[in-house]
Every structure is written in structure tokens, then in C-alpha cells.
């Protein structure tokens, strides 16, 4: 789940490759005062505004199980026994935990100028794969409809209470 704020309607000169920048990380607690949701806010910009997919975008390369079906890949990194961070493995499948990836809706503005920028909020599970990690980092990147991939942003260490 996510929310989006802001699109510019005047000419701007951004690269056609999306760029993102981490703005904030907030922990949202449940009624038992345990961390339930992680809210990641980040700034985005794209010169040709081709960010987002519609529900009709299901043909290749945006088909289900394609690496481009989700245009906001999120990687959970968990602390290992050496204090290093590595991709979370889902114990049920013994594969990387990847179902927290997001599919950003179509954002391209109407009109002559297509460049966009704004802030996006993404709400992520604080207990991925039900493994109750104590410390995590999150990596995100954004892909546009031309399959351009933004830079990767990585959060600081997020300490969780379960």
C-alpha cells in the first residue's frame, strides 16, 4: 500500500531514468504497541513521466512472474550472525522474500509536459515472512515503463519490536 503526493505541470529537465531519494522511515505500532508497519517516504523524479502501470498492463514484460510486474522492488535485508546484512530468506520456501514488492499505479500526467516529481509513501510489513527480525534494512528501486531502473536507496538499520 502506498500514497503519492505531487506532480508538476510545467516543463522540467530531469533525466528519463527515474531517480529516488530516501526521505524518512517511520514505524507504526499496533494496539499491543508492537511494530506492525514500516512507512518509507521517498522523493522521486522522472523526466518523461512514464512511471506506473495500469491494471491492463499484464502482457510481457509486465506479466505476472516477470521481474517487471512489480515496478517498485523492495528487498528486506536482515542481520546475520556476523552482524552483516543479507537478503531475507523465506523459511517456508527457502527462497528470497520477494512478495513485498509493490506495483505503483499509472502516474503519467496528461498534457504537454510529462516530467514528474513528488513524494511517495510505501507501507511495508514489519514482520516479513513471520520471522520477526530484530534489525533490518530496506532497499528500494523504481522502474519505469521503458524498463529504466532508478538508483537503489537503502534505509539505515531499523530496529523492530515484535
pTM: predicted TM-score of the whole model, two decimal places: 0.87
Q: Flag whether pLDDT at 17 surpasses 70.
A: yes
Residue 84 burial by Cβ neighbours in a 10 Å radius (0-12, 13-18, 19+):
exposed
Question: Across residues 24-30, what is the average pLDDT?
Answer: 96
The partner residues of 42 in beta bridges, in order of sequence, read 22, 120
CATH code for position 135 = 2.60.40.10
Domain with 52, as residue range(s), is 2-159
* Secondary structure of the chain as H, E, C letters: CEEEECCCCCCCCCCCCCEEEEEEEEEEECCCCCEEEEEEEEEEEECCCCECECCCCCCCCCCCCCCCCCCECEEEEEECCCCCEEECEECCCCEECCCCCECCECCCCCCCCCCEEEEEEEEEECCHHHCCCCEEEEEECCEECCCCECCCEECCCEECCC
What is the count of structural domains for the chain?
1
Q: How confident is the model at residue 2 (pLDDT cuts 50, 70, 90)?
A: very low
pLDDT, tens digit, 9 for 90 and up, residues 63-93: 988 889 999 999 999 998 899 999 999 888 8
Higher pLDDT, 130 or 22: 22
Respond yes or no on whether the N-terminal peptide bond of residue 89 is cis (omega within 30° of 0). no
The stretch 28-40 carries a mean pLDDT of 95
Amino acid at each position: 500500500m502506498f500514497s503519492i503526493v505531487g506532480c508538476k505541470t510545467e516543463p522540467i529537465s530531469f533525466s528519463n531514468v527515474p531517480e529516488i531519494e530516501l526521505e524518512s522511515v517511520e514505524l507504526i505500532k499496533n494496539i499491543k504497541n508492537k511494530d506492525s508497519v514500516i512507512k518509507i517516504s521517498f522523493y522521486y523524479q522522472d523526466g518523461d513521466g512514464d512511471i506506473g502501470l495500469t491494471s491492463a498492463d499484464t502482457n510481457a514484460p509486465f506479466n505476472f512472474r516477470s521481474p517487471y510486474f512489480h515496478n517498485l522492488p523492495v528487498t528486506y535485508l536482515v542481520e546475520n550472525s556476523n552482524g552483516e546484512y543479507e537478503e531475507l530468506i523465506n523459511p517456508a520456501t527457502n527462497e528470497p522474500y520477494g512478495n513485498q514488492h509493490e506495483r505503483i499505479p499509472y502516474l503519467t500526467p496528461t498534457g504537454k509536459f510529462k516530467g514528474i516529481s513528488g513524494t511517495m509513501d510505501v507501507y511495508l510489513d514489519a514482520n516479513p515472512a513471520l520471522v520477526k527480525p530484530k534489525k533490518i534494512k530496506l532497499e528500494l528501486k523504481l522502474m519505469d515503463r521503458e524498463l529504466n531502473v532508478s538508483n537503489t536507496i537503502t534505509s539505515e538499520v531499523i530496529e523492530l519490536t515484535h
